[in-house]
Amino acid sequence: MTTAPSRTVYVVGAGPGGLAAAAALRARGVPASVLERSEAVAAAWRGHYDRLHLHTTRRLSGLPGLAIPRAYGRWVGRDDVIRYLEAYTAHHRLEVRTGTEVERVDRSCGDDGVRWALRTTGGEELRARAVVVATGHNHTPHLPPWPGRDSFTGRLLHASAYRCPAPFTGLDVLVVGVGNTGAEIAVDLADGGARRVRLAVRTPPHIVRRDTLGWPAQATGVLVRHLPPAAVDRAAGVLARLSVPDLSQYGLPRPQDGPYTRLLRDGAIPVQDVGLIDAVRAGRVEPVAAVEGFEDAEVRLADGSTLMPDVVIAATGYRRGLEKMVGHLGVLDGRGRPKAHGATTPTPGLYFTGYTNPISGMFREMAIDARRIAKAVRREGPGRGPGG
């Protein structure tokens, strides 16, 4: 194992959260190096499906020190997000080491102000007084252990492997999961020529318009996020009844609990309508019961019925994948999520950003986190040990 010279701060992950943190640190005069396991910045965005756009507005999604170009439009597409993050890296002259995966982070007992030791998969040991972990909310695809899954004779893939509808033209496709990803992929398939598209629903989602009369849903999220959950739920209920048709007859009843309550309890944000409502009402996307298991060519649903789709696309979410890196430090909750984020650190000198799913917009909150983390790191100074 080789030991590299100590750096002031290491940022793990070259997505928007990590790049924003590095830029904010640099703006405060704190040297920082970004470590990225892939071969380029914005790796997660490069792997997303073609149709994807930010569900937050361009104006409210810029990272510290560089606005998103107006030419990218109000709802920024995937390719333009990647271009923006590349330009952001160059604009701030960020030091990004690609092809470097951090395997483990440990406390360090050095007497030179160094708090942390990072071990890479290549056997290198890096030392720093602070670490910002920003490997992303969508890190490790999660495929549920459905009974009979491995014997399914159709094609089964996770949504992370979906790019565009062309390979599914003329096929019967079941999309599992009605979060934003599942809903948008289902609409993309219906628009792109799939013979039949069904959407398996376990928990009916809250559906909101991306904007109403020009007012974006994100702006409402910014205004209400610090209000009592009950008040937000009541207001959201009134808005939903005014702007979103009742889809109960199509298999998507209105949820009984409020959207903010669900967000705080389960981390589930509302589904922004980018065509789902019209597709469901037109019968181009058919909601069905949740998947319970597989048997040969059949998919068993929770209501006792069975389907025989050609393809199943599991939009069943991701895991943070942090256990191996920092799980031994006691900084994760029972779901593998950081117990604290932003400048509120679970242990001195270790910060997390990008692991929440706020109604006010993830890019916006990562920008806020970045500034707060940089301020906290600068305030701590280089001379304190692991005990703070």
pLDDT tens string 25-52: 999 999 999 999 999 999 999 999 999 9
For the stretch 258-294, pLDDT in tens is: 888 888 788 788 999 999 999 999 999 999 999 999 9
The whole-model pTM stands at: 0.91
Q: Smallest Cα–Cα separation from 38: which of 4, 16, 14?
A: 14
Whether the per-residue pLDDT at 360 is higher than 90: the answer is no
pLDDT computed for residue 385 by the predictor: 36
**In the predicted structure, residue 189 carries a pLDDT above the cut 60:** yes
Same fold, 2-139+320-380 and 141-314: yes
For domain 141-314, the CATH class is alpha beta
pLDDT-wise least confident of 93-102, 111-120, 198-207, 267-276: 111-120
CB atoms within 10 A of CB 74: 15
pLDDT digits (tens, 9 = 90+) for 53-88: 999 999 999 999 999 999 999 999 999 999 999 999
- Give 7-73 as a 3 state SS string: EEEEEECCCHHHHHHHHHHHHCCCCEEEEECCCCCCHHHHCCCCCCECCCCCCCCCECCECCCHHHC
At residue 40, the pLDDT reads 97
| 172-176 β-sheet, strand order | 155-158, 311-314, 172-176, 196-201, 286-289
Give the mean pLDDT of the chain. Answer: 92
Q: How high is the pLDDT of residue 213?
A: 81
Mean pLDDT of the 8-36 span: 96
Domain layout of the chain by residue ranges: 2-139+320-380, 141-314
Fold of 2-139+320-380: FAD/NAD(P)-binding domain (3.50.50)
Confidence category of residue 387, pLDDT binned at 50, 70, 90: very low
pLDDT of residue 292: 97
pLDDT tier for residue 229 given thresholds of 50, 70 and 90: confident
- pLDDT-based confidence at residue 384 (cuts at 50, 70, 90): very low
pLDDT at 386: 34
66: helix, strand or coil = strand
